[in-house]
Amino acid sequence: MKATSRFDVPSEPLFRPSLDVHSLSTSALHRLRLKLSEDGASQPICLPVVVARGATPGPVVGITSTVHGNEVNGIPTIHRLFRTFEPSELTGTVVAVPIVNVLGYDRFQREFHDGKDLNRAFPGNPEGVASQAFAYRFLNEVVRNFDYLIDLHTASFGRSNTLYVRADMTRPVTARLGRLLGPQIIVHNTGADGTLRGAAEDLGIHALTIEIGNPQRQQNRLITASRIGLREILEHLEMLAPDHETPQTQAVECQRSFWLFTDGGGFLEVFPALAAGVEKGQPIAQLSNEWGDVLRAYEAPEDGVVIGKSTNPVAHTGARILHLGIVGSVG
């Protein structure tokens, strides 16, 4: 049976080759399609970009989502954030790219359409492979406009995450923004090589990453918390007047974190809940063979907090068990 549908799109978006936010009219919301590359049939690969230009000049805050194509909780987070204000109330500019990796998104896959991880391709290369060329253009045509960048992610396939922030907590501005977001956990982490966050920081942009739960899901509780945290940042930057909502969570801060891996293969059970504290020596997981015999039992190597964990019980040698954060602040 055919589902009923209703279309309610206010105006056709504009096609553009690049983004210059200062050329756009003020006190207005702009929907753009940026043509950054082309597919094998010479068709444009267009990026949806929403720009809220405020009434008065101010900072440019960029919010990007779905650099990994199957990490989609950031999309409704952006949509709902933009419903909380009118451009005429805004100082400065908010630029959002709800789906960066458009073709990966369409295939429910993390990677870019050349099979590479786009978040390891930055700052890109104009003469490189598809993901590098795209990263180069995205960084230079879009991200260069920003004073601040918040990049929205989730866990990868087979894992689940808390709502947590990855940020260089030795940078005072970045640290303040991370705390304003009100996540469950903040992990101090300098942007790894090839990430959008690291490339943005190299351009002098204050940048942080939010990990919002699990891949290929819409998780409303985490989306709402993220939307409230993003709005809190805009209020802190004096771009919007305070509203009645503030983040309810005081983040647990971690000075470092690492994944624990299996040293054999089998059926994996991981015991602690997300965000739970674990003590050194506490049983955290076990691996069974195909007959149900327990082959290995794993213990926490240090006191910590569970940032993320495996949800895929089928473990090869070297499978991820859990992402352990070591509590403590830096800077």
Which of 153, 309, 320, 323 binds Zn ion (CB under 5 A)? It is 153
Q: Which is nearer to Zn ion, 71 or 111 (CB)?
A: 71
Which range touches Zn ion (CB under 5 A), out of 52-60, 149-157, 225-233, 319-327? 149-157
Which span sits near Zn ion by CB under 5 A: 4-12, 62-70, 137-145, 278-286? 62-70
Please tell me the distance from the alpha carbon of residue 156 to that of residue 159, in angstroms, as a whole number.
Answer: 6
Instruction: Please report whether residue 197 would count as binding Zn ion according to CB under 5 A.
Output: no
Q: Among residues 122 and 298, whose Cβ is nearest to Zn ion?
A: 122
Smallest distance from Zn ion to CB 258, Å? 18
Contact residues for 85 (Cβ-Cβ < 8 A; gap 6+): 52, 231, 234, 240
Which one of 51-59, 63-71, 135-143, 293-301 is the stretch in contact with Zn ion (CB under 5 A)?
Answer: 63-71
Record the tokens describing residue 267, joined without a space.
Answer: 């059926």
Could you tell me the smallest distance in angstroms from the CB atom of residue 151 to Zn ion?
Answer: 8
Q: Is 71 in the site for Zn ion (CB under 5 A)?
A: yes
Binding mask 223-242 for Zn ion (x = CB under 5 A): --------------------
* Residue 151 found at the interface with Zn ion (CB under 5 A): no
Q: Region of 155 please: left (phi>0), alpha (psi -120 to 50) or beta.
A: beta
Look at phi and psi of residue 213 and say left if phi exceeds 0, alpha if psi is from -120 to 50, else beta. Answer: left
68 lies in the binding site for Zn ion (CB under 5 A) = yes
At 302 the three-state DSSP class reads coil
Count of residues making up the chain: 331
Strands 148-153 and 28-38: unpaired
Q: Which of 62, 26, 27, 28 is nearest to 47 (CA)?
A: 62
Residues that bind Zn ion (CB under 5 A): 68, 71, 153
